[in-house]
Amino acid sequence: MFSVTLAEIIAEFKLVTLTSGADTPEGVITHTDINRPALQLAGFYDYFDSARVQVIGMVEYSYLQKLDQLSRSQTLEKLFQHKIPCMVICRGLKPFPEMLLFGDRYGVPVLSSDWNTAEFMAESIRWLKVQLAPRVTIHGVLVDVYGEGILILGESGIGKSETALELVKRGHRLVADDAVEIKRVSNQTLIGSCPELIRYFIELRGIGIIDVRKMFGVQAIKVTQSIDLVIKLELWDSSRQYDRLGLKEEYMELLGNVVVMNAIPIRPGRNTAIICESAAINHRQKKMGYNAAQALMERHQAQAFQG
């Protein structure tokens, strides 16, 4: 299980710490979801996930405002007793004295934000999903080709890095070489990046390490990229039948998500970089509703019917 510190979320969303103690409270967050404790303030704690960040918006604030001091004190103490990671008061609303009292008593940071409640929840959930996403590091290359994230896989020495370098020379962008860290941020989206230690470097056998950013400029690199297509490089096998039409798509599973995969046989004379460019454009066309193989089959069937 991954986690982010309260210091990170405070810095990301420019939150202000209202409780006493350190300016940057200690503690970690391990859940991507955010909770508005309206039902809890009304006394319903069944199925309450106390590990989530608790957000106070105008609805919760107005409810607390209508309670008398004793009832408000009892209500808030019960919430803070559950050891919530923190409480964020949105819209720049002034905290009730009881919030600060119980925050200090139970070690729960009370934070303030000027953000609209709905906007803060949406942005914080999106950010937490990325930070806490399941992840895996695999051996491969990730490049941005015409806006499509192409993950190039294959055995060591087959030419992945050389292909990436040629794509960079042709105006595309390198995300990662050798090690690709993949995060599953949703059921449909995988985000790839490079470990910071080797970011922007490519290893070329016979030459050594080159720095893509220094050689080709910042326009040749990218920090993160969604993974839209997997290209698996294979040595040409004359005994194998390769797909020549592309009517049926192959898929690869990564962290539970499926991604379209093209197996590309490699032999002397084949320009792998141009093949990757063509695969990226063809994949984008399919997403936009045009399938060249299907169009050819329909044309062939129409001609046969006319004959």
The pLDDT score that the predictor gives to residue 23 is 56
| Torsional sign, CA 60, 66, 71, 72 | positive
Instruction: Report d(CA 172, CA 190) in Å as an integer.
Output: 20
Angle between helices 69-80 and 58-66 (to 10 degrees): 130
139 included as an active-site residue: yes
So where are the chain's domains?
4-131, 135-296
The pLDDT score that the predictor gives to residue 240 is 75
Task: Give the pLDDT confidence of 240-278 residue by residue, as tens digits.
Answer: 777 777 778 889 999 999 999 998 888 877 889 999 999
283 included as an active-site residue: no
Do 135-296 and 4-131 fall under one CATH topology?
A: no
Q: Which of 31, 129, 178, 286 is catalytic?
A: 178
pTM: 0.80
* pLDDT per residue of the chain (307 residues) written in tens, 0 to 9: 788 999 999 999 999 999 986 555 778 899 999 999 999 999 999 999 999 999 999 999 999 999 999 999 999 999 999 989 999 999 999 999 999 999 999 999 999 999 999 999 999 999 999 999 999 999 999 999 999 999 999 998 898 999 999 999 999 999 999 999 999 998 899 999 999 999 999 998 888 999 999 999 999 999 999 999 999 999 887 777 777 777 788 899 999 999 999 988 888 778 899 999 999 999 999 999 988 888 888 888 888 777 5
Instruction: Report d(CA 229, CA 51) in Å as an integer.
Output: 36
The pLDDT score that the predictor gives to residue 173 is 97
**Is 163 within 8 Å of 276 (Cβ atoms)?**
yes
Closest CA to 124 of 226, 27, 228, 36: 36
The pLDDT score that the predictor gives to residue 305 is 77
The pLDDT score that the predictor gives to residue 241 is 73
Instruction: Report d(CA 168, CA 48) in Å as an integer.
Output: 50
The pLDDT score that the predictor gives to residue 307 is 59
Long-range contacts of 286-289 (CB under 8 A, 24+ apart): none
Domain 4-131, CATH among 3.40.1670.10, 3.20.20.150, 3.40.1390.20, 3.40.50.10440: 3.40.1390.20
Torsion of CA 163, 167, 170, 171, to 10 degrees: -160
Q: Which of 14, 66, 240, 244 is catalytic?
A: 244
Instruction: Report d(CA 95, CA 206) in Å as an integer.
Output: 64
**Is 110 within 8 Å of 25 (Cβ atoms)?**
no
The pLDDT score that the predictor gives to residue 247 is 73
Q: Which of 126, 139, 270, 287 is catalytic?
A: 139
Residue 27 in 3-state DSSP?
coil
The pLDDT score that the predictor gives to residue 272 is 92
178 included as an active-site residue: yes
User: What are the E-state strand segments in 39-113?
Assistant: 53-56, 87-89, 110-112
Q: Which of 160, 173, 183, 232 is catalytic?
A: 160
The pLDDT score that the predictor gives to residue 22 is 53
The pLDDT score that the predictor gives to residue 294 is 83
Domain 135-296, CATH among 2.40.50.140, 3.40.50.300, 3.30.1490.480, 3.40.30.10: 3.40.50.300
213 included as an active-site residue: no
Per-residue b/e over 196-213, b at no fewer than 16 CB within 10 Å? eeebbbbeeeeeeebebe
